[in-house]
Amino acid sequence: MPGGPIGLNLCHNPLSIFQHAQFAFQARRFIFSDFGMKRLFVCALLLFAGADLFAQQNTPPLQRQDTPPVASQQNTPPLPPPEEGMPPIKPSATPPPVAPIVVAAPKQPNGKIQKSLVRITSTEVEPDYRAPWNTGAIGRGVGAGFVIEGPRIMTNAHVVSNTRYLTVERDGDPNKYPARVVFVAHDCDLALITVDSPEFFKNMVPLGFGGIPELESTVSAYGYPIGGERMSVTTGIVSRIDFQLYTHSSIDQHLAIQISAQINPGNSGGPVMQNGKVIGVAFQGYSGDVAQGVAYMIPTPVIRRFLTDIKDGHYDKYVDLGLTPGNLQNPAQRRYFGLPDDGRGVVVRTVIEAGPAGKVLKEGDVLLSIDDHAIASDGFVELEGERVEMPEVVERKFKGDKVKFEILRDKKPLTLTIELDTVWPYQMQAHHYDTRPRYVVYGGLIFQPLSLDLLDVYQISDPRVRHYFDYYILEQLYLQHPDIIVLTNILPDPTNTYLGPYRSSIVDEVNGKKIATLNDLAQAFAETPDRFVIKMIGQGPPLVLDRKEVESARERIRTRYNVIAEQNLEEQPVAAKATASSGTPHF
């Protein structure tokens, strides 16, 4: 997925890929059925001929009675001499019979998963950032899900993202049931959907959740990968338990479990099981060009947190402190901060002013403990008998919860409390789903706020734009520019000729007024001066538009380029959210 580790792919199966794979499979079957009889006859002849040749090559030659046998080339020990009065011992002419090997039929350690597993097909519409007033391209994808108590169906968020219509299929039923999204969490790639038909959940068996599996223990992954429409199961072992980037959002890191079971497109949202319990949800893996047999599942602590968060009917997202800690393992550095040689403490390197810690902590503070858990000098804490990274303590909390810190500030001990919340500046560097792109079109110029999705589409290489994106949080650029407004495209018209060099420029002011947000830009263009002088960040002459010329060309540009709406200032949810009925889903 764009923005994540190279080659790390979500396991959602785009239907176009699935159709190509299915066509190739059918073509091979067609070729086999057309020439099958001839090939079978030839293969049979070769088989019999090969067997006869094998028998001839492996049968020892007959020896005459008066010819002594040829000595063996192997170091076979000689037979013991016979006792007195006993006949000589002769070697056996035939080896003793070999007992047949009986292979036991494989068991189903997790029961009949078919009564819990579902196949999900999504018709989705991707946002069009080049022409943001348009609906976008339509696509289809296939994923998996499983029934849990409720009854509800759990799957990945990326299986149902940007969806307009969902259908669900179950084993042994030819019907496709319309479904709708109930809750979706893009920051941890989980979603719950449901089917309104009362017939669907009959005879379906909800699955229960287990704990975190042991390293090297065996697990089984279930889903509907490319190559068929029936359930597939793969097995593997637990290879690693660690914090990993969740590529669906490309900004969030949570606990994830690496497994060696093959997870391919179409496995997304399927359960990973052990001893009859769900221990994870399959969601991403590396492509074969990067690593072989490396796949990941979302573990049950993340799943349980999601289910707890939505109990009030709303998903509040993951909370964060909004700070960057640094290890304190160097002896000289520890003495500088007034720390004893006890292996405790990390230093606050950066604090995001827009985050929960912004008004409480300062750069240079030394964090000694969090909620009475001592913080080691490498940033780990002891939690439930395991050494985990400090953010794991915050991961288990919710919006409005508080966390207590024991710190050193200027070598003096303090105890502080922080109320947890989300950190909005992070969202600029994350992927967004189920929303319409924000933009303003004026005089054929398209202005849009900088985001990861925008960079992916336009592949902007301008160094200044890349700097504002990369250092948006580190240099706290969001304080002056909550929105980084970029001139992304130009709809050619006599009004905006020769303005091509201004593409990918960042708007600083309009007629002397600073532009901090997209709303500021829209309000500036709503005024009625003779001209608009648009100053960009950096050196160079300003961009100038004559207001009367722009107004005269307005309808011409809208008609020529089918601009349905000249602006969208809010990230509004899409109108239809994969509904099977007129019920309103929760976001």
Active site residues: 158, 268
Q: Could you give the 3-state DSSP secondary structure of residue 327? A: strand
The continuous run of DSSP H or E covering 433 comes out as none
Pick the closest to residue 480 from 512, 515, 454 (CA basis). 515
Q: Give the residue among 392, 316, 355 at the shortest CA–CA distance from 587.
A: 316
Report the number of secondary-structure helices (H) and strands (E) in the chain. 9, 30
| C-alpha to C-alpha distances, 439 to 449, 504, 565, 571, nearest whole angstrom | 7, 14, 10, 10
Cis omega (within 30 of 0) on the bond before 77?
no
Cβ neighbours around 334 below 10 Å, total? 20
**Which amino acid, 118?**
V
Beta bridge partners of 141: 14, 122
Cβ-proximal residues to 398 (8 Å cutoff; 6+ apart), any chain: 305, 308, 309, 316, 319, 420
Cα-based torsion angle of the residue sequence 430, 431, 436, 437 in order, rounded to the nearest 10 degrees: 70
- Per 3-state DSSP, the chain is made up of helix, strand and coil in percentages (nearest 5) of 20, 30, 45
The three-state DSSP-derived secondary structure of 382-428 is EECCEEEECHHHHHCCCCCCEEEEEEEECCEEEEEEEECECCHHHHH
Element (H, E) at 41: helix 15-58
Exposure string for 361-381, b = 16+ CB within 10 A, e = fewer:
beeebbbbbbeebebbbebbb
- What does DSSP say about strands 402-409 and 232-245: parallel, antiparallel, or unpaired? unpaired
User: Measured at the alpha carbon of residue 411, what is the angle toward residues 406 and 412, in degrees to the nearest 5?
Assistant: 55
Nearest to 438 by CA among 421, 451, 429: 451
How many residues are present in the chain?
Answer: 587
- 528, two tokens: 């009625």
CB 357 within 8 A of CB 303: no
Name all contacts of 394-397 with Cβ < 8 Å and 24+ positions apart.
394/319, 394/320, 394/321, 394/370, 394/420, 395/254, 395/255, 395/301, 395/305, 395/318, 396/301, 396/305, 397/319
Instruction: List, in sequence order, every beta strand (DSSP E) within 276-401.
Output: 277-286, 295-299, 323-327, 346-351, 366-370, 373-374, 380-383, 386-389
User: CA dist 509 to 506, 519, 522, 524, Å?
Assistant: 10, 13, 12, 9
Provide the token pair at 458: 């336009």
